[in-house]
Structure 1
Amino acid sequence: MLSLQMQGSHVVIGGWIEDLRKLGKITFLTVRDVTGLAQIIVKDEKVIPEDLTRQSVILVRGIIQSTKARDFQYEIKADDVEILTKAVHPLPIDPIGRLESNIDNRLNARALDLRNQRVASVFKIRHQVLASLRKELEKRKFIEITTPKIIGSASEGGANLFSLEYFGKKAYLAQSPQLYKEQLTIGLERVFEISSFYRAEKSHTGRHLSEFTSVDIEAAFFDYTDVMDVLENLVVSVFSDVEKNCKQELNTLERKLQIPKQPFDTITYSDALDELGKAGINLNFGDDLLDSHLKIIGTNHPGFFFLTDWPMSLKPFYIHEKDDEAKISRSFDLQYGHLELSSGGRRLHEPAKIRARLIEQGLDPASFEDHLRTFDWGMPPHSGWGMGLDRLMTVIIGTDNVREVVLYPRDPERLTP
């Protein structure tokens, strides 16, 4: 890193021109790279190329000296300025952010958009979130896996799948690693995956995407309350790491991050029905909870909270029932207000029960034979969850539009760039 302590040193720096202004015969340049901003002073007009433009990439050779500029600790007196790549104006957006662009124009020029320091800060924080997740899961003895994204049968029943032709066969894009991660507990016991998955929903909301990043875990010999503990501690660790390691980025975003208090509130589905009843909304056991319902419950439980013990009828075929009440599942959702961040639970590990549940939900066990046969090899009891990384990022950043935290989002209308 350059500093005033290097005063008198000859240096070479590269970056893009964020600002350019002339005062008489002196030219001032501000040059930025991913590490920060430097001021360049050019006193010899012959050093400055005539066709220099803002956002062009340049190489500067010069000497570090002191400066009277308020925003800089030093400046570089340039001996030579070389254009490496010229930025052709007019640019599609203003990457400095002086002229505001709507989200669609910004996404159409996403690479240039990243020169806006507010946007760059979002993705530096996302990097830290991913690093924190991997660090914490490895600490808990989870092994990272990579499962197929092109699959031969529906992973969770066939709804909302993208299909494609695969060398004369019909294939699908995976909507989750659910069946694979369950199988892998046979030999690896504790596994996790952070990867893209696909859901063919024609949703036009600020929280749905056709391609999304999911964080998934599965752990042998864990009950659903055990993986809830893992999830809660993971979320708190992520917030702590971001608050500690991303102070500059949070400051750029004018975002003050509050570390979630533990333990998270935990309410059952039946508790939720009671709370809604007190608000004048009467639902029957087995009715799904809509966003409008979850907003009321979220108001009663600010921040993160678990919603547990859902009816079996509302959960996938692989979820285990409670031992003392067959209509209630060993399951949970992690909520932030009305926003669902994660869903998980204890899984069935007895083949006969899984086949019965498939039939009960109108699914053909024959379509799941590759998966079911692994249960005859000695499947341990196991639990797990999947969490939407992009949704977690919206909570951290404080936005209600998931497209702000994904580099190149895919939704029903957007296939490029």
Structure 2
Amino acid sequence: MDDRTHTADAEPGERVTVAGWVHEVRDLGGIAFLILRDRTGKIQVKFATDEMDDELVDAGTNASRESVLSVTGTVEEEPRAPTGVEVVPESVELLAPAEPELPLDPSGKVDADLSTRLDNRTLDVRAGESKAIFEIRAEILRAVREYFRSVGCTEINTPKIVATGTEGGTELFPLTYFGQEAFMNQSPQLFKQLMVGSGLERVFEVGPIFRAEEHNTPRHLNEATMIDFESAFIDHNEAMDVCEGTLLAAYEAVAENCQEQLEVLGYGDSFAVPDAGFPRLTYEEAIERINATGELEEQLLWGDDLPTEGEKALGADVGGHYFITDWPSEIKPFYIQDRDDDPQLSKGFDLMHPEMELVSGGQREHRYDALVEGFEQQGLDPEAFEYYTKMFKYGMPPHAGWAYGVERLVMTMLGLGNIREAVLFPRDRQRLSP
């Protein structure tokens, strides 16, 4: 068992053992200070070099930065110390030395470019800002899971190795599976739909997806973590309600539980939870408002996808999170249901941050004949998806759902310049290691 005292819990008068990384050593002549860092913070260790055993002093003051030490001693009050206390050591044990030349500076005093940081992610996450990002990411996932449970969802896990692509044969990573061709899954979409037809009815998943898109942008990854939701007996409007609820739950949890991390990232009291009641614009209204901004060189036409500069122009115009609804059927996947009163319009929606798309969702086509027709209209072979389509013959209820990427949520919430800052070990066109 871990019987050490965390640095943040050290109280005056206690005899403690603290362990962590050497953050800094300062030798002032006659007295020296070692700053030891663990996951809870930093603590000062004081060496009276003229009064203490030379071996003890050398063990503490000669350790190179980022070496791992265990220090046993008495905690004393010291108002001038960074945390108001310091440890007077009885013993120092070197648990793991670090080479004097480090590939980056975890203290943050010397900047490193993103590529160097990602190549040395273990050292990078020791730094305050990177550590704060991943602590906030963990809090987001905790809050989202808690919200899903509060609205009656069951967490599921679906296969990541599949026989067919969720959205056809493009942008797939192929692999050999015992002599057969298989693929890394693009989405749990089809599997979560199958589960709403089971006794579970309302499900969610947090897991990886893989897209073989040859992007090289600050907001795209080839492996991402998705938050997926699907529920029987709701429509696209109710699905948007749940979508907004999860996002607000994430922001509220970070605001309440991550003040220390937000301060490290420079937010102080400026971190804002979005107001509830996100506007819902139709696709037609969206392109009209984008065109009216005059930010695009060419006017958008009906059926166009929204370019990045168009999303940013509309986001600036709206000034907050918003939904785009009633997308043209032709640019939404086969499983999105068309509106009965106008088949050219779908019941698909996107949730937008002012900077970019966060969520894609909609009401699904639950009627077997219409679903098969949708496959054929998009040039897909229904027989290749027979494991999926056949279940729609056995009583598939109306259902709706959505999915959004954890990394984009973290990126937009914290204003990060590159999505790779929000994932520990990114996978993109250039990066397969570490």
TM-score bucket (shorter structure):
over 0.9
The answer for the alignment partner of 1:48 in structure 2 is 57
Report the CA distance between 1:292 and its aligned residue. 2.0
Report the CA distance between 1:374 and its aligned residue. 0.8
Report the CA distance between 1:196 and its aligned residue. 0.7
Give the Cα–Cα distance (whole angstroms) in 2 for the partners of residues 25 and 177 of structure 1. 64
The answer for the alignment partner of 1:269 in structure 2 is 283
The aligned runs of 1:30-109 (5 Å cut-off) are: 30-43=35-48, 44=52, 45-49=54-58, 51-109=62-120
The aligned runs of 1:238-257 (5 Å cut-off) are: 238-255=250-267, 256-257=270-271
Q: Structure 1's 141 and 3: CA in aligned 2 closer, same or farther, altered over 3 A?
A: closer
One-letter identity of the residue aligned with 1:111 = T
Give the Cα–Cα distance (whole angstroms) in 2 for the partners of residues 364 and 235 of structure 1. 36
- Maintained 8 Å contact 1:110/1:408: yes
Report the CA distance between 1:47 and its aligned residue. 0.7
Q: Helix, strand or coil for the counterpart of 2:21?
A: strand
- Maintained 8 Å contact 1:146/1:193: yes
Give the Cα–Cα distance (whole angstroms) in 2 for the partners of residues 146 and 21 of structure 1. 51
Match of 1:302 among 310, 313, 319: 319
Q: Provide structure 1 residue ranges, at least 5 long, that are not aligned to the other structure.
A: none
The aligned runs of 1:130-279 (5 Å cut-off) are: 130-187=141-198, 188-255=200-267, 256-279=270-293
Instruction: Establish whether residue 352 from structure 1 lines up as the match of residue 369 from structure 2.
Output: yes
Q: Structure 1's 279 and 15: CA in aligned 2 closer, same or farther, altered over 3 A?
A: closer
One-letter identity of the residue aligned with 1:12 = T
Q: Which deviates further from its counterpart, 17-26 or 159-168?
A: 17-26
Report the CA distance between 1:372 and its aligned residue. 0.5
Instruction: Establish whether residue 14 from structure 1 lines up as the match of residue 25 from structure 2.
Output: no
The answer for the alignment partner of 2:305 in structure 1 is 288
- Maintained 8 Å contact 2:7/2:18: no
Report the CA distance between 1:71 and its aligned residue. 2.2
Q: Helix, strand or coil for the counterpart of 2:197?
A: helix
Report the CA distance between 1:373 and its aligned residue. 0.6
- Maintained 8 Å contact 1:142/1:190: yes
Give the Cα–Cα distance (whole angstroms) in 2 for the partners of residues 108 and 271 of structure 1. 44
Give the Cα–Cα distance (whole angstroms) in 1 for the partners of residues 389 and 241 of structure 2. 28
The answer for the alignment partner of 1:408 in structure 2 is 425
- Maintained 8 Å contact 1:351/1:375: yes
CA deviations 1:226-285 (Å, max 9, x no partner) are 010001111111101100000000000012311101211111011112223434553332
- Maintained 8 Å contact 2:11/2:85: no
The TM-score, its normalising length taken from structure 1, stands at 0.97
Q: Percent identity at matched positions?
A: 38
One-letter identity of the residue aligned with 1:130 = L
- Maintained 8 Å contact 1:4/1:65: no
One-letter identity of the residue aligned with 1:129 = I
Give the Cα–Cα distance (whole angstroms) in 1 for the partners of residues 275 and 117 of structure 2. 36
Give the Cα–Cα distance (whole angstroms) in 1 for the partners of residues 415 and 306 of structure 2. 24
One-letter identity of the residue aligned with 2:56 = V
- Maintained 8 Å contact 2:7/2:37: no
- Maintained 8 Å contact 2:121/2:425: yes
Give the Cα–Cα distance (whole angstroms) in 1 for the partners of residues 256 and 168 of structure 2. 42
The answer for the alignment partner of 1:27 in structure 2 is 32
How many positions carry a matched residue from both structures? 417
- Maintained 8 Å contact 2:73/2:90: yes
CA deviations 1:117-147 (Å, max 9, x no partner) are 1110000001100100100001111000000
RMSD over aligned CA atoms reads 1.4
Report the CA distance between 1:4 and its aligned residue. 9.3
- Maintained 8 Å contact 2:366/2:397: yes
Q: Structure 1's 61 and 239: CA in aligned 2 closer, same or farther, altered over 3 A?
A: same
- Maintained 8 Å contact 1:4/1:64: no
Match of 1:317 among 334, 338, 341: 334
- Maintained 8 Å contact 1:4/1:73: no
Q: Helix, strand or coil for the counterpart of 2:58?
A: coil
Match of 2:403 among 386, 393, 408: 386
Give the Cα–Cα distance (whole angstroms) in 2 for the partners of residues 225 and 186 of structure 1. 20
- Maintained 8 Å contact 2:10/2:16: no
Give the Cα–Cα distance (whole angstroms) in 1 for the partners of residues 9 and 184 of structure 2. 54
Instruction: Establish whether residue 365 from structure 1 lines up as the match of residue 370 from structure 2.
Output: no
- Maintained 8 Å contact 1:209/1:411: yes
The answer for the alignment partner of 2:3 in structure 1 is none
One-letter identity of the residue aligned with 1:41 = K
Give the Cα–Cα distance (whole angstroms) in 2 for the partners of residues 46 and 132 of structure 1. 49
Q: Provide structure 2 residue ranges, at least 5 long, that are not aligned to the other structure.
A: 1-5
Give the Cα–Cα distance (whole angstroms) in 1 for the partners of residues 136 and 277 of structure 2. 25
- Maintained 8 Å contact 2:8/2:40: no
Give the Cα–Cα distance (whole angstroms) in 2 for the partners of residues 250 and 345 of structure 1. 33
Q: Helix, strand or coil for the counterpart of 1:93?
A: coil
The TM-score, its normalising length taken from structure 2, stands at 0.94
Report the CA distance between 1:148 and its aligned residue. 0.2
Give the Cα–Cα distance (whole angstroms) in 1 for the partners of residues 8 and 398 of structure 2. 58
